[in-house]
Structure 1
C-alpha cells in the first residue's frame, strides 16, 4: 500500500508545530521565563533550543522519512542486521499511549472551562470560590469522562478521514484559528490599564534574578524547557517525517517548526502576564494559572465572559492540535504492525484509549487514595513523570546515538537523508558535537530531572 503524503509543505509545518505546541508549553513557558529573569533567561533558552532541540528534531524527522514508517517499525527498517535498536519501539509506543492517557483528560478540562466561562459559572465567585469550583470539577468523574470520550472520539474520527482530508485539513484550520485568536487576546491584554508592568516583568532582562537562582539552576531550567517544548523522543514527530516529500531539506523545515512553536509560547506570555499585572494577581504556575488565576481575572474584566471564552477556545485548539498529531501516530502503529486499515485502527484505538484514560480521571476521586509519587500526587503525576522524565529524554538519546554512531544508522545515512532536497542544510561539521557533547547534555537533563523532582 502506497504511503500517504501531505498535500502541502504548509500542512507538514503546521501539523508538526501543532504537535509541539502543547498545553504545558503555553502555561509553563511564560512562568519559567518570568521566574528566571525575563529576556535574560530567554536568550539562554533560545541558545539551547538551537543547540539541543533542533538537531534531535531533524534526526527524528530523518528516521521517519528514510524508513517511511512510524516508530513501531522505523528502527527495524534502518538498523544494521542483528542489532537491537528496534526494542526501543515498544517504549516509544507506550510513551504515546501514556501521554494521551492524561492529555485527553486535560483537553477535556479546557472544553469544560469554556462552557463554564461562557455560561457564567465563575461570575461573582471569589478566588477561593474558583479554587473550589476546580476541585469540584475534578472530584466529579462522570462529566470528565464525557469530555474525555468526546475528545477521543472526535480526534480519532479526524484521523480516520485520512491524512490530507482529515489530519492536515483540520490541523490547518485549528492552527490558523489558534494564531488568530492569540493575536486578538494579545491586543486585549497589552492594552489593559497597568499592563506595562506585566510586559516589563516578562520581557525586560533581569540579571539579578539569574544570580538569585544561581546560574546552574537557570541553565538546567533553560535546557529542560528547550528540550521538552519540541516533543521529541517518542516518535510523535517521526510519523510526520514519514509523510513528507523529499523536496525540502529537513533542517530548514525544523527551523520553521521551532520558530512557530517558540512564537506561540512567547505570545502566550503576552496574554497572561499583562492581564495578571493589570489586575494585581500573582501569575502563579502550573494548572492553577489556567484554572484558578485566569478565571478570577476574567471576572474582574469588562466583558470577561467573552474574553474568557476566547481564551479557552485558544486552549482547546492548542490541546486538540496535539491530540490529533499524537493520535495519528498511535493510529499508524496498528497500520504498521498489524496491517489494519486506517479506519479499523482508528476504531479499535478509540475504545482502547477511552479505557486507558479512565485511571487518570478516577485518580482525582475514586482512586484519590493512590498517591504513587508521594503525598498529594495523582495518577496523572505518575503518567506525566514516566513520559516527561524518562521516555522523552531516553528516546531522544536513542535517536541521537542511532544517527551518529556506526552501530546504528550512522552519520552518513542520517546526513544524506536530512540534506535531501532544497533549503537549509544540516551542518556536517558538527558531528563531533552531536556524538560527544549532546549525549552528555541529555543524560544531564535525565539525571538532574530526577534530582529536582524528588527533592
Structure 2
C-alpha cells in the first residue's frame, strides 16, 4: 500500500537539544524526586534499582518512542496525529480515542498537579523568609520546635483560601509560558530551567557528600537484597518506570509533533529515558544524606518532602540556604512538568476549535483552576466530600486523591496499553519503520517489546491497580 506523506509541518523546536530538554522536563517531576528514592530504599535497594532500570529499557522506552513517532508523523495535536497515522495505515480513525483519553488525563493531572506546585511555592516563600532571619550559614527554622516544623504542612493544606491562591498562582506561572508558544515560551522554560535544575541537583548532592551521611545513603539505596523483590515490589518498579516517563497522557505525542524530520527519534528517546532515570537515582543521593545526617528515618510520599526534609534542614549547617535551593529545584521540576501537561489540552483546543494559542491556554487554565480549587479544598474545607465514595476503589478519597487514583490507575495505563497495541499491531509497519530511527537488531527487539512485553506489563499494572487484592494489597 502506498503511504501518504506525513502531516504538514507546524511550529517546532529550534533544535534537537531544545526538544530533549523539554521532553526531560516533562518527564522529570515530583515522582523522580520523592517516590523513586523511597521505593528503592524500602524495596531491596540495588535489586530494585536494577529491576527498575530494566523496566525503563524494556517497557518505558518502547512506549516513549511509540508516542513520539506518532506525534512526529501526524504533526498535529495528539488525537489528530493518531487519526492521521490510523488513516494512512488503512485503519479506523476511531483510534484517535486513545489520544483523546490521553488529553483528558493530562488535563486532570494538571488540575491537581498545580495544587502540589502551589505547595512548593509556599515552602519557597518560607525558606526565603527564614534565610533572612537566620542568615546563609544558619540552620532552618531556628526558632521553631520539631513539632512546629512538621505542623507547617498540615496547617497549610487545611487553609482553604491559601491553597486555592497558591494553586492559581502556579497555574498563572504555567500559562505565562504555554501562551507564548513552543519556541517563545515552552522551549524557554526548558532551555533555561532544566540546566538550572541539574546544577541545583548536583550542587545539593555534592553538599551531601561532604556534610551529609553519604555512606549510609549508598547502603540504603544500593545494597543488593533480592529477597525483597516480591511480586508487588516488582510490579511497583514497572509502574514507577512507566509513570516517571509521563506516559499515557499524550504529552510525548504532543511534543513529538514539534520535532523536525532530521531528528533520530530512537536515539533521542534513549537520551530522554537515560536522563530521567539518572535524575531519579541522583535524587536519592541528594535527599537521603541530609535525612540521615539529621538522624531521621526515611519516609516515602509527600511526607518526605514537606515534613521530613524541612526538619532535616533544621539540623544541618546552612540549612536555610540548602532548603531554599532544594525547593527552588523542586519548583523548576514541577513547572516544566506542568507546562507539558497544559500544552497537551491547549494544542487540542487550538486544532479542534481554531482558537488562538492565548485564548486556548486561557480556557484550559480557567477549567483547571475550577477543578483544582476542589482539589485544593479537599485537604481542608472539603475533606469530608468524597465524590466517588460509593465505589470501593475511591472509598474515603477527596477530589485530589480521586483524580490522582483515576488517572494513575486507570486512564494513563489504558492509554499507554492502547498506544503499544496501536503501534505494534495496527499501524502500518513501513510507516512505523520510517519514523522510529532504529535499524537492524534494535528494530526487531523494539518491535518484540512493543508488540508483546509492553501490552502484557501494562495490562498487569492496570489489573492490579484496579484490583489490588490480587497481590494481597488493600
TM-score by length of 1: 0.93
What residue in structure 1 maps to residue 59 of structure 2?
52
Question: For the residues of structure 2 that align with 1:277 and 1:433, how far apart are their CA atoms?
Answer: 40
Unaligned runs of 5+ in 1: none
Query: Out of 279, 290, 306, which is 1:291 matched to?
Result: 306
Task: Confirm or deny: 8 A CA contact 2:71 2:256 kept in the other structure.
Answer: yes
Deviation at 1:36, TM superposition (A): 1.5
Deviations 1:345-390 (A, max 9, x none): 1222222221121110011122110244567632211101111111
Query: Out of 349, 357, 362, which is 1:334 matched to?
Result: 349
Query: Out of 44, 48, 70, which is 1:41 matched to?
Result: 48
What is the number of residues matched between the two proteins?
Answer: 447
Task: Confirm or deny: 8 A CA contact 2:181 2:357 kept in the other structure.
Answer: yes
What residue in structure 1 maps to residue 94 of structure 2?
84
Task: Confirm or deny: 8 A CA contact 1:126 1:296 kept in the other structure.
Answer: no
Listed as ranges, the matches of 1:13-52 within 5 Å are: 13-52=20-59
Aligned in 2, Cα 1:425/1:143: closer, same or farther, shift over 3 Å? farther
Question: For the residues of structure 1 that align with 2:55 and 2:177, how far apart are their CA atoms?
Answer: 35
Deviation at 1:428, TM superposition (A): 2.8
Listed as ranges, the matches of 1:119-134 within 5 Å are: 119-120=129-130, 122-134=141-153
What residue in structure 2 maps to residue 155 of structure 1?
174
What residue in structure 2 maps to residue 319 of structure 1?
334
Task: Confirm or deny: 8 A CA contact 2:346 2:360 kept in the other structure.
Answer: yes
Aligned in 2, Cα 1:132/1:377: closer, same or farther, shift over 3 Å? farther
Aligned in 2, Cα 1:444/1:342: closer, same or farther, shift over 3 Å? same
Task: Confirm or deny: 8 A CA contact 2:413 2:458 kept in the other structure.
Answer: yes
Deviation at 1:149, TM superposition (A): 1.3
Listed as ranges, the matches of 1:418-433 within 5 Å are: 418-419=436-437, 426-433=442-449
Aligned in 2, Cα 1:82/1:24: closer, same or farther, shift over 3 Å? closer
Say yes or no: does 1:242 pair with 2:257. Answer: yes
What residue in structure 1 maps to residue 271 of structure 2?
256
What residue in structure 1 maps to residue 70 of structure 2?
63
Say yes or no: does 1:93 pair with 2:97. Answer: no
Question: For the residues of structure 1 that align with 2:440 and 2:163, how far apart are their CA atoms?
Answer: 45
What residue in structure 2 maps to residue 386 of structure 1?
406
Say yes or no: does 1:395 pair with 2:415. Answer: yes
Unaligned runs of 5+ in 2: 1-7, 131-139
Structure 2 residue matching 1:106: 3-state secondary structure? helix
Say yes or no: does 1:440 pair with 2:456. Answer: yes
Structure 1 residue matching 2:249: 3-state secondary structure? coil
Question: For the residues of structure 2 that align with 1:349 and 1:377, how far apart are their CA atoms?
Answer: 25
Task: Confirm or deny: 8 A CA contact 1:331 1:349 kept in the other structure.
Answer: yes
Aligned in 2, Cα 1:124/1:451: closer, same or farther, shift over 3 Å? farther
For the aligned residues, what is the CA RMSD? 2.0
Deviations 1:141-187 (A, max 9, x none): 11222221121112112112221121112211110000011111001
Aligned in 2, Cα 1:313/1:50: closer, same or farther, shift over 3 Å? same
Question: For the residues of structure 2 that align with 1:386 and 1:326, how far apart are their CA atoms?
Answer: 16
